Structure 1
Amino acid sequence: MLLPQSLWALVTLLWLSVPSVRAQTTPVSLSFNTPVTLTGRNFSTTSTPLLFSLPSPSSPEVTVSLALVFVSNSSSAQVVPGPTGGADVYEVILSGLGLGNFTFELQTGITGVLAVYGGSAADSLEIGVSQGTTPLHAPLADVPFFGDSTANEALLFSPPFLPPTPAPQPTYPNYTLPLANTSLPSPPATQNTPNFTLFLAPLSARLTALPQTACAVRAGVTNDPRAARSAQVLAEQLWLRDSQGWRREWLVGQLTPLTNYSVYAIQDGTRLSGPLYFTTKSGDVVLVPTRTRVALLPDHGYAVPLPVPPARALVYDATNLPDSLATPLLGYLTNFTTSLLTTACDCAGCQTAYRHWLCSISFPRCGEFPQTESTSKQGEQEQPLTVPLPALVSQPSGMTPRNAALGNVSDYTALLPCLETCQAVDRACPIFLGFRCPLPDFTASASYGVGYIDSADGDVQGGGIPGVAQDQWGNVLCNAS
């Protein structure tokens, strides 16, 4: 029977300590967009189910735990939905994620009823009702984003939630472009910003073995000492990282070197995003996750071979980025913009692509060669069978650096920029500028990662292996930031 979109049930297993709930014959009323968590009650008898009445008029949604769940939109006040079935009684079927959803329509004057059977006193039920096309507990389609890590810190992002405001394009007769060190965009208003909470734990905590629902993951982190003590959010903010839109950004500390982590973000307390995986680096060198809050570098945040920031700062920003690094870049971008404006063109995309490329080659990203299987695996983590080696190049101390202002006083390993970062400039900019990239079939691999995003011969867009610069399994193959 095909029914309209209105009622959903999410089923999860938790281990919480909240007051017990007794079975009853009078349904408990549920309110829209207010999840209710129940635990400590053994629902193993089918004679006294836990009953809930659903809000009127016609579009509710629901969330519960591992048990038998039935719903009814019968006009008879005597109908208690249950395993014996009957007219207008339906069972909510669970998916492998621990999520069950169901849809039906309520007529005016009829109260829907939800009944829960089975389960044990150790189980927990979370029930939520909402209106509209999106269930209260629907998982998010996008996973969190991994910025980078050091031995003890990581830079993590929520999924994008708000598209950026389109940048103004130069038009006749006022062909102007942003300054090299232009102002940063203002964050969105609070009412347009969902509430994201970060949850992460070592892979050995086995969060992925739990039902993949917000309440199960939240309880798994909160109640597991291995998870609860594993990390601390040092700073967070809203950040327009790229063209995908605004995200919430977290700088996380107190991590363990050479450890695999699983990461989740929960939106508004009920909607789960994840898992994302990453591995911390070794403690061989001191790396700093550079969230350079400088308009010159709007979308760059990763580990770079710089000394620890001065005055106990957590990261480099506009107040402590050395002038020896920022001043030359401002000069390069200013001169490039001046050349670009010698002709009337719709060239804002050219300046943006050049800025991104300039920052990528001027601030090398630190990487590490993959660890052995025994060292890097602390839990079950499925990932693609074929993962190519990342574009890494050893940088011994004393070697001439790509950016002379950085110097090179200690050994480190550089993750090369993706060739597509250079090719984006070549495509976006007028030919008279003379900007060219090395050919992928010849010299490009000496200074760029080749064949990861586009095919190695450059003929097929997105035809590389695996087709992206990094994936949700923690494989970062070339620097696209």
Structure 2
Amino acid sequence: MRILSAPLLPLLVTFIPPHVTRAQTTSVVLPFRRTFSLSVSASPIILSLPAQNEPYWLSVALCGAILPYPRFFVSNESDVTLPGPGGVQGSQTGEELNLDEGLITYRAQMSSGGALAIWPSSGAGANWTIDVAAIQDDFPTHRRLSQLPLLGDTSATRALIFSPPFFTRETQEPIFPNYTFQDAIPSVPPIPSSAEPNTTLLLFPTANANATVWLTNSACALTSKLGGVMTTTATRTVYRDSSGWRRQWFVDGLSASTNYTAYVIENNAQVSGPSYLRTKSDSFPCPLAHSIPYCPEVSYAVPLPAPPGSATSYTDDNIPQDIKA
């Protein structure tokens, strides 16, 4: 009998397809979102997809860079209940879906139903965590947002960062002959509570990016890798400009003269970023000013002495009265 050399053994272990036993099926009812754990020795995860006259979005986010990645197969035929790779006992024909930096989005056309199967890959050193969603909407639940986080400014150890706008107020432009000027302090109606997403800022040294971030389209992967980088933050929702409402973060505890990368996560599913910023040197003297209602776009370093007391920035509460006047 021929004995395989040691370098070939891992390859053999990796590419032998699993034997299908006791596969569990989850029925999907729209809207659907659930997190699954898949071990290397488990049967595939099977989702029975609903029949719909109109197309809907299926999205999958891989929550960790455990190599080799699992494989994803979909079928839009009701009689194909276990799409999968060829040569595996029990699997049927299906379309393989490929991860794009940790994310799959698929426009499902399921007039008679279908199935999504997630197959483990042999040789992985840990379990995979997978976030799956299905929704009949204009956009998938998991996606990369087109707009980036916005930098206000930085000091040596602090930064002002804004999320992309998530709600825009409809405004009526004045027309001839009746021109009405805006008040000195703009009157902004409150944002509907249903319009404000759950937002999280992830900020980390850019030097660590290549070693830390692989699955940059996956919100859960970014959060699990990068959570807790910042030491102190203060957040508020602001109507900064005509683009609409944003989430504002005042970040403290950064390192001077350091490049940082920022991502914003919305609803634990949508990814905005990356945006890049650099803190000033230790000798930079100017504090940051922000949250001034009569100048909502002020979010930058100002040539003033250090803020009074224990304050770390200037806001409407402590900015000098002669500047207000």
Query: Is the TM-score greater than 0.5?
Result: yes
Corresponding residue of 1:217? 222
Alignment partner of 1:308 is 2:306: yes
The runs of at least 4 aligned residues of structure 1 exceeding 3 Å deviation read: 30-35, 85-88
Query: In 1, are the aligned partners of 2:45 and 2:119 still within 8 Å (CA)?
Result: yes
Residue deviations 1:414-456 (CA, integer Å, cap 9, x gap): xxxxxxxxxxxxxxxxxxxxxxxxxxxxxxxxxxxxxxxxxxx
Alignment partner of 1:38 is 2:36: yes
3-state SS of paired residue (2:277): strand
Q: TM-score, normalized by length of structure 2? A: 0.79
**Could you tell me how far 1:292 is from its partner in structure 2?**
4.5
Distance, in Å, in 2 between the alignment partners of 1:321 and 1:242 is 21
Corresponding residue of 2:279? 280
Unpaired segments ≥5 residues, structure 2: 1-19, 63-68
Judged with a 3 Å threshold, the aligned counterparts in structure 2 of structure 1 residues 231 and 290 are, in CA distance, closer, same or farther, namely: same
Residue deviations 1:262-298 (CA, integer Å, cap 9, x gap): 1100111101111111111112133221004131x12
Distance, in Å, in 1 between the alignment partners of 2:21 and 2:290 is 53
Corresponding residue of 1:51? 46
Alignment partner of 1:152 is 2:157: yes
For structure 1, which segment, 97-106 or 194-203, has the greater mean C-alpha deviation from structure 2 after superposition? 97-106
Judged with a 3 Å threshold, the aligned counterparts in structure 2 of structure 1 residues 247 and 64 are, in CA distance, closer, same or farther, namely: closer
Distance, in Å, in 2 between the alignment partners of 1:133 and 1:183 is 33
Aligned length: 290
Distance, in Å, in 2 between the alignment partners of 1:255 and 1:89 is 49
Corresponding residue of 2:251? 252
Distance, in Å, in 2 between the alignment partners of 1:56 and 1:314 is 56
Corresponding residue of 1:195? 198
**Could you tell me how far 1:31 is from its partner in structure 2?**
4.7
Alignment partner of 1:62 is 2:59: yes
**Could you tell me how far 1:73 is from its partner in structure 2?**
2.2
3-state SS of paired residue (1:160): coil
- Determine which of 181, 191, 199 is the counterpart of 1:177: 181
The amino acid of 1:102's aligned partner reads Y
The 5 Å alignment of 1:452-467 reads none
The 5 Å alignment of 1:390-401 reads none
Query: In 2, are the aligned partners of 1:73 and 1:88 still within 8 Å (CA)?
Result: no
Corresponding residue of 2:315? 317
Query: In 1, are the aligned partners of 2:290 and 2:298 still within 8 Å (CA)?
Result: yes
The 5 Å alignment of 1:113-128 reads 113-119=115-121, 120=124, 121-128=126-133
Unpaired segments ≥5 residues, structure 1: 1-21, 223-227, 328-481
Query: In 2, are the aligned partners of 1:24 and 1:49 still within 8 Å (CA)?
Result: no
3-state SS of paired residue (2:143): coil
Between Structure 1 and Structure 2, the one with more helix by share is: 1
Distance, in Å, in 2 between the alignment partners of 1:236 and 1:134 is 27
**Could you tell me how far 1:32 is from its partner in structure 2?**
3.9
**Could you tell me how far 1:124 is from its partner in structure 2?**
2.5
**Could you tell me how far 1:159 is from its partner in structure 2?**
0.7
Distance, in Å, in 2 between the alignment partners of 1:100 and 1:57 is 20
Corresponding residue of 2:84? 82
Corresponding residue of 1:471? none
**Could you tell me how far 1:128 is from its partner in structure 2?**
1.7
- Determine which of 94, 98, 103 is the counterpart of 2:102: 98
Corresponding residue of 1:161? 166
Query: In 2, are the aligned partners of 1:74 and 1:89 still within 8 Å (CA)?
Result: no
Q: TM-score, normalized by length of structure 1? A: 0.55
Distance, in Å, in 2 between the alignment partners of 1:128 and 1:136 is 6
Corresponding residue of 2:23? 25
Aligned-pair identity in percent equals 30
Query: In 1, are the aligned partners of 2:239 and 2:246 still within 8 Å (CA)?
Result: yes
Query: In 2, are the aligned partners of 1:292 and 1:315 still within 8 Å (CA)?
Result: no
Query: In 2, are the aligned partners of 1:30 and 1:128 still within 8 Å (CA)?
Result: no
